[in-house]
Structure 1
Amino acid sequence: MKLPTRHPREAAPPGVVGTARVDRRTRTLISRLEPGDIVVLDHLDMDRSTAQRLVDAEVAAVVNASPFVSGRFPNQGPAVLIDAGITLLDGVGPDAFSAVKDGRTLRVHRGEVFSGDDTVATGAVLDRERLEDELAAARGGLGTQLESFTRNSTEYLRHEEDLLLHGAGAPRLGTRIAARPVVVVVPGPDHEAELKGIRRYLREQKPVLVGVDSGADVLLAAGFKPDVVVLSSTTSAEADETRVSARALRGAKDVVVLVDRGDGRSPTDSLERLGVRPLRFETGATAEDAGLMLASLGDASLIVAVGAHANLADFLDRQRGHLASTFLTRLRVGSTLVDARALPALYAGRVRTWHIWLVLLVGLLAVAAAIAVTPVGQQWIDDLRPHINDLFHRVGGFFS
């Protein structure tokens, strides 16, 4: 009798294996990602916000037609991906979009992308050592970026002078803002943590809530209803109901749609189909800056920014083309603006009734202790001691 022989199982090929998700438009691509996918995109200078969304989608690898770091400035996105253990490959070139088919199984190994046994793309692996070298070189390019920023600021101020100085052209909101605090929520890598950190402030102060783009849905997910929704021109021109939920749009008292100056198009048709009558705001500012501007023009007592730019690195990393808009808007808003990350350290909470009674009790005890050590206090204690002993005896009688 011949016994069956066991053949050794073939070892799996090395590298990262996953389903290909291919799209030049990163925003569209992210919405259809599943855990374990291999992303093929074209995103020069990956920013932190986009990288965090890829991490949240639990992708296995990111194949970039362009460099993750161009050298113009030290962008923050690649470090987020590397920290999450995601394999990075860049510089594969635009031919990858024709060679790689969406939905096919890919394998990424040592700078090569395989579909079956065929090599469909070749690039350079971006690991931590290479990233640190490229970021160090990119820091030398900040001077050039700041020179460009100076020129852009002058041009932006020329176009937006009336808005920045006098508020001309801004829509009149139905929401009352004057003398009230306003919280502006912008979609960013840390917006959920920042919003969680100010929940007590939101419950106690009941500020006006402004959701910028998908920041409106961030508020809804946290259990708060946005009063004002601000939509960027790209959001409204694409598909409002997919970027911002119909529930958020219908529930807001004011929906503001940004339109580029001189643009005669009306990107409000999809909103009107939802039963929403938006306000048109013609400006070159970003949606984030427009939200801050509307709060400032409404004479808000305080403006709290959630998920917004916090420093120069954030400005350069997230919206380099609109740095002038953000900088000049911050100057316009002035001292009323507070970052959400700083608010918990500044806000001690509302004083409640029991707080007052506790302070009074502690004060009375302190006064009693001070009097007790004086001769007059000792005389009072001696006079009251028989009465106190009698009271204790009577109380003890109830339990005997």
Structure 2
Amino acid sequence: MTRGSRNVAVVGVALSDCGRVPDATPYTLHAQAARRALADAGLPRRLIDGFASAGLGTLAPVEVADYLGLRPTWVDSTSVGGATWEVMAAHAADAIAAGHANAVLLAYGSTARSDVKAGRRTGTLSFGGRGPTQFEVPYGHTLIAKYAMAARRHMIEYGTTAEQLAQVAVQARANAALNPEAMFRDPLTVDDVLSGPVIADPFTKLHCCLRSDGGAAVLLTAEEYVRDCRTPPVWILGTGEAVSHAAMSEWEDFTVSPAAASGRLAFERAGVGPPEMDFAQLYDAFTYMTLVTLEDLGFCGKGEGGAYVTDARLTVTDGALPVNTDGGGLSAQHPGMRGLFLLVEAVRQLRGEAGTRQVRARDGGLPRLGVASGTGGWFCSSGTVVLGRN
């Protein structure tokens, strides 16, 4: 898609060491992922004139850019939770298309797991008692409780079952079994998920994402630099972003996420639709997120998500729409704001670099189109990116 005067491609992607990395710092994971992404692209560091990062440092992304030895003339520190990286990718693509930057690096790193193990953080997220959330804090709403309430509302409205939600975790694990870098690869059954300890009704432990260390980086550049890259370009075809509520009491419908708006915009701008997608990479901190995002992006009708996710529809091996092909946040890795990992996996799939978990298009060849959609907060924000290859 032409955004301004230049087309924009992703030319480098990488992960840092992920999973259990007790000797790392968030800064070293940023740097490791960034170096690997540059090596993947085959472009020199001096070309980077844009940088985007969030979640680390008092002056993010200034501190991280300084650590990486970058002096960018375009920066972004948008922070909207898990949707941050899809939103940043959209902003970076707009900046490159308009000529405000030539190459933008997106980088993230977190030692969330090691911090909890070492007692550097409690593992419980607190969102404070000021602003709109002050009216809910006295009732003890945790992050997971907010998602659990939304899931229960969907169950009441549409008859969605705990077994259907469990299918999301089971199929994510089936994909993770094909990913040698995934933290958890042992097979799961629906009974395994349902018999686990209840964390927040209707979620048991395996309805919830794991906690890991890890980092990721993505390099976007203008079309004229593509010929200098060692990897085939993956084009940014369309993007969309949307925000919803801060307080749960202001959310009009617990069964509709802001992906309904961001997805519509992304697909319209790309000039393609959900039926043309070869795969989807969706934020999955909890199983319900996958189900409702599939509905809101238009892969099935509202209320039909429970039926849609059955029969191994989401798996690489048998699925009509492979989803979270690396195992997702439920089984592969989840160091915090996982949205950048969605973009890395989408690009690897489109370049045919996913190994045993490689998706095939309907004609048996490599996939041509895919979508990545991140969700932030408690369905407070959404960013959607449609990607494609030549």
TM range (shorter): under 0.3
TM-score scaled by length of structure 2 = 0.27
Which structure has more RCO (C-alpha within 8 Å, separation ≥ 6)? 2
Higher fraction of helix: 1
Query: Which is greater in Rg?
Result: 1
